[in-house]
């Protein structure tokens, strides 16, 4: 199945196949979610079969909305598809943009709707093995330390979020 994602081509938002957008480094829409419970953020280790950044640790959930899909609905959909998480309420925090080489000749040039979810109890999960191989809960300091010590174990976008947008995710220090 071909996934068409909202991509800017010559200044106009156009549906483009997801892999083509990454091969050409085209600027396109994305969604990222951080789920935080009791001061700990849920991170996921991407499945070994992912077409880019396999086995690397990323934020709770990140994806591209389908053409015409509402970003908040996309966040809810992918939390369930990737992690089996249901019944949460993503809160839009900000829109941001980044460009990152994700290896294999692929470029993520993302215009991201960033969502944060705060919950009182850790949600039940049912990991989709095609998407996620493991999860972990880390507080902000532990995540920052792990990224600093082993940056090659983390996706470029998680490193960008933590270095440039952590106050949007966790609040000011």
Of 61, 74, 82, 110, the active-site residue reads 110
Query: Residue 144 class from Cβ within 10 Å (0-12 exposed, 13-18 middle, 19+ buried)?
Result: middle
Of 20, 37, 62, 81, the active-site residue reads 62
* 149 within 8 A of 98, measured Cβ to Cβ: no
Q: Cα Rg for the chain, rounded, in angstroms?
A: 15
Measured CA to CA, the distance from residue 151 to residue 23 in angstroms comes to: 23
Q: Locate tokens 């081509």: which residue?
A: 9
34 three-state secondary structure: strand
Active site residue 80: no
Active site residue 62: yes
Catalytic residues: 62, 110
């Amino acid at each position: 199945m071909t996934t068409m994602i909202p991509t800017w081509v010559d200044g106009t938002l156009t549906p483009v196949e997801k892999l083509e957008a990454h091969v050409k480094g085209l600027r396109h829409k994305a969604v990222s979610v951080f789920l935080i419970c009791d001061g700990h953020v849920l991170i996921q280790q991407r499945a070994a079969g992912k077409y880019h950044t396999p086995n690397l640790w990323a934020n709770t959930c990140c994806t591209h909305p389908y053409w015409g899909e509402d970003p908040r609905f996309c966040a809810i959909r992918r939390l369930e598809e990737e992690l089996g998480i249901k019944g949460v309420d993503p809160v839009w925090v900000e829109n941001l943009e980044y460009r990152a080489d994700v290896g294999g000749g692929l470029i993520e040039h993302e215009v991201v709707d960033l969502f944060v979810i705060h919950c009182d109890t850790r949600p039940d999960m049912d990991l989709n093995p095609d998407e996620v191989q493991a999860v972990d809960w880390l507080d902000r300091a532990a995540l920052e330390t792990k990224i600093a010590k082993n940056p090659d174990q983390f996706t470029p976008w998680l490193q960008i979020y933590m270095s440039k947008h952590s106050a949007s995710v966790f609040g000011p220090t």
